């Protein structure tokens, strides 16, 4: 019997594999790091990936630009009495999702671009409309209705299969924001659930469009501070704050600084990979404050002996969660995207009308990944989140209200820039409309079967709610606490004039109105002042009269933007220099100042 020469057999097999792999790469069928066997050798896979060109966007679209990596302190900070500049560091390695080659589905639809690295319950088989791949943050119950599309067959009954990529489960599916942009743009993800503020940092019309509103944080996010050091937003200057990198936590920090007119560079910032680390820094008294969302870590922070809650999203409605539909999905599978939106609104209707059944479905899918193991888990979480109903979506995505959303998006970009972050695609006013595609929600609203007969657990979605604002008595006004003296601290007037200048009108519109629109239960104190020049024949009464009329002129302009007059408190103050001989000081006293206050 002839002896088999295994060495020659091995050489032959290697040559055959080289021909197969080389042909696959030459034809563009696969990338070398995705070929069978390569992924089993992490060192070889990663080396190949480092030498590969970035994924290309759809034809005719510019390649996405990654936003800058967030600054993370790598040295142990001193006690809060000192405020050293934070040291720069790099983002921790992010695990890459496992790509799969698309398979043909009915009517030529592609099945999916990327699959979860951890097996999750999802649709199986072929569907008339193919598949939609949905990515979302784990353990956030307001996003959990999306799993009901599979669990209750709400998508499948419409001829649509759904596949899920829940982020950061079992240390897998850890996908950085800039990578999420690429996946949305190139079809790896069809739909992403995220905040509009975060999307304003790394997204843009070429990546995808906002196609529905999920709701807004209504108490879930907060800032906890050392009470003896920080009483208002303005007191944050020169202090140290901890937060979770590239998240709503970081965004809220910059928002507070911007409202208070505090330069971000004057604050020591300690960015962390997760909120647990940020909270631990505050608990160790190595920061004057921590910004984050409802969790055991933040609960512990509020119980520190000298802590106070400086702000909550119950008053500052600045965090809005949305559905982003990727540009490739919008180009190639609009019918499937419409079926997804119909199923999404039906899932939310189930949450509103039958929370027990909805919670049970979420728990069956995975209580660990949805954060819902019981009806109480669901309703408790939704108590701090104002869900947007289908009727809310119809209203805010109407031609009349959509400009407000556009301005919210623009404001989010300005907040990031004020914090020193580089926005991937800074939009002009005439480009903001391209961020939204209202067609899907509007079409869903035509189906009365998707409209809920019951309100959400928290029915205070700010852009559509009509809260009753009561005027305050003088006694109540005297008990108001200052939250922040606004960044636009004052607008100036010409001597003796009560007319607002074009510069003053612009400052109010750009810096005061956005704050009032995004806050609930707060009031604006408008304090007028007038210069008192020597020899002008003025007295206290006449000076006060001019000062008060200036405050009233500001009030009259602000209410034109739909701000209830009951939220505006008018006061006047005598000038700092009476019978003043210094013309510059006299002019500085011709002003109106703004302070945000609350009960």
Residue 495 maps to which CATH number? 3.30.1330.60
Which range of residues forms the domain containing residue 23?
6-50
Pair 195, 412: CB distance under 8 Å: no
Specify whether 427 is located in the same domain as 490. Answer: no
pLDDT in tens, 350-392: 999 999 999 999 999 999 999 999 999 999 999 999 999 999 9
Choice between 246 and 300, residue whose per-residue pLDDT is larger: 300
Q: How many CB atoms lie within 10 A of CB 346?
A: 23
Specify whether 327 is located in the same domain as 196. Answer: yes
Mean per-residue pLDDT of the chain = 83
Whether 173 maps to a domain, the answer reads yes
Specify whether 205 is located in the same domain as 354. Answer: yes
Residue 313 has pLDDT above 70, yes or no: yes
Whether 61 maps to a domain, the answer reads no
- Could you give phi then psi for residue 585, rounded to 5 degrees? -65, -40
Cα 127 to Cα 173: distance, rounded to the nearest angstrom? 26
Residue 181 has pLDDT above 70, yes or no: yes
pLDDT in tens, 471-519: 788 888 888 889 998 877 778 888 778 888 888 899 999 889 999 988 8
Mean pLDDT of 566-574: 90
Specify whether 328 is located in the same domain as 424. Answer: yes
pLDDT in tens, 261-287: 999 999 999 999 889 999 999 999 999
Q: How many CB atoms lie within 10 A of CB 118?
A: 14
Whether 554 maps to a domain, the answer reads yes
Choice between 65 and 542, residue whose per-residue pLDDT is larger: 542
- pLDDT score, position 18: 59
- Could you give phi then psi for residue 397, rounded to 5 degrees? -95, 15
Closest of 192, 189, 187, 151 to residue 343, by C-alpha: 151
Choice between 11 and 527, residue whose per-residue pLDDT is larger: 527
Specify whether 373 is located in the same domain as 442. Answer: yes
Choice between 21 and 145, residue whose per-residue pLDDT is larger: 145
Cα 180 to Cα 207: distance, rounded to the nearest angstrom? 9
Specify whether 35 is located in the same domain as 116. Answer: no
Whether 96 maps to a domain, the answer reads no
Whether 577 maps to a domain, the answer reads yes
- pLDDT score, position 6: 55
DSSP letter (8 states) at residue 471: P
CATH of the domain at 360: 3.40.190.10
Cα 397 to Cα 408: distance, rounded to the nearest angstrom? 13
CA distances from 584 to 312, 530, 543, 581, 594 (A): 40, 13, 17, 9, 21
- pLDDT score, position 7: 58
Specify whether 37 is located in the same domain as 168. Answer: no
Distance of CA 233 to the CA centre of its chain: 20
Q: What percent of the chain has pLDDT over 90?
A: 59
């Amino acid at each position: 019997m002839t002896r088999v020469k295994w060495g020659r057999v091995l050489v032959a097999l290697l040559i055959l594999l080289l021909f197969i792999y080389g042909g696959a790469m030459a034809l563009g069928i696969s990338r070398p790091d995705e070929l069978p066997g390569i992924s089993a050798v992490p060192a070889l896979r990663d080396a190949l990936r480092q030498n590969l060109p970035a994924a290309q966007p759809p034809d005719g679209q510019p390649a996405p630009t990654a936003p800058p990596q967030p600054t993370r302190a790598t040295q142990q900070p001193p006690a809060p009495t000192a405020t050293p500049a934070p040291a720069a560091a790099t983002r921790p390695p992010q695990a890459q999702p496992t790509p799969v080659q698309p398979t043909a589905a009915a009517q030529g639809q592609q099945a999916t671009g990327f699959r979860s690295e951890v097996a999750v319950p999802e649709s199986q088989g072929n569907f008339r409309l193919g598949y939609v791949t949905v990515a979302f943050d784990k353990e956030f119950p307001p996003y959990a209705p999306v799993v009901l599309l599979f669990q209750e067959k709400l998508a499948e009954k419409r001829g649509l299969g759904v596949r899920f990529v829940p982020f950061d489960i079992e240390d897998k599916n850890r996908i950085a924001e800039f990578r999420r942009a690429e996946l949305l743009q190139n079809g790896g993800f069809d739909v992403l659930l995220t905040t509009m503020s975060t999307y304003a940092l790394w997204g843009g019309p070429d990546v995808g469009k906002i196609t529905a509103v999920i709701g807004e944080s209504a108490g879930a996010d907060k800032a906890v501070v050392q009470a003896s050091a920080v009483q208002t937003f303005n007191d944050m200057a020169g202090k140290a704050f901890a937060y979770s990198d590239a998240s709503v936590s970081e965004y809220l920090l910059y928002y507070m600084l911007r409202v208070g007119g505090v330069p971000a560079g004057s604050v020591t910032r300690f960015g962390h990979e997760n909120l647990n680390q940020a909270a631990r820094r505050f608990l160790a008294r190595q920061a004057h404050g921590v910004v984050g969302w409802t969790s055991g870590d933040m609960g512990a922070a509020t119980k520190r002996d000298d802590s106070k809650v400086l702000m909550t999203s119950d008053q500052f409605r600045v965090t809005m969660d949305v559905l982003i539909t990727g540009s490739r999905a919008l180009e190639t599978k609009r019918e499937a995207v419409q079926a997804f939106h119909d199923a999404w609104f039906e899932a939310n209707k189930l949450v509103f009308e039958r929370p027990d059944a909805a919670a049970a479905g979420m728990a069956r899918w995975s209580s660990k990944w949805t954060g819902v193991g019981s009806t109480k888990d669901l309703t408790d979480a939704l108590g701090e989140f104002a869900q947007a109903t289908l009727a809310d979506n119809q209203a805010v995505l109407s031609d009349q209200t959509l400009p407000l959303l556009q301005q919210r998006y623009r404001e989010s970009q300005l907040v990031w820039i004020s914090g020193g972050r580089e926005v991937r695609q800074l939009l002009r006013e005439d480009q903001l409309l391209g961020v939204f595609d209202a067609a899907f929600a509007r079409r869903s609203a035509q189906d009365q079967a998707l409209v809920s007969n019951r309100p959400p657990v928290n029915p205070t979605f700010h852009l559509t709610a009509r809260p009753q604002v009561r005027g305050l008595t003088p006694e109540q006004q005297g008990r108001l606490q200052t939250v922040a003296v606004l960044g636009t601290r004052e607008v100036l007037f010409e001597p003796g004039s009560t007319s607002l200048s074009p510069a003053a009108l612009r400052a109010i519109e750009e810096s005061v109105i956005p704050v009032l629109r995004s806050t609930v239960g707060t009031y604006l104190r408008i304090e007028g002042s007038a210069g008192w020049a020597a020899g002008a024949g003025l007295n206290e009464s006449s000076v006060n009269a001019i000062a008060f009329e200036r405050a009233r002129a500001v009030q009259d302009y602000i209410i034109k933007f739909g701000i209830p007059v009951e939220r505006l408190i008018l006061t006047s103050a005598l000038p700092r220099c009476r019978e003043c001989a210094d013309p510059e000081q006299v002019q500085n006293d011709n002003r109106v100042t703004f302070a945000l206050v609350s009960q």
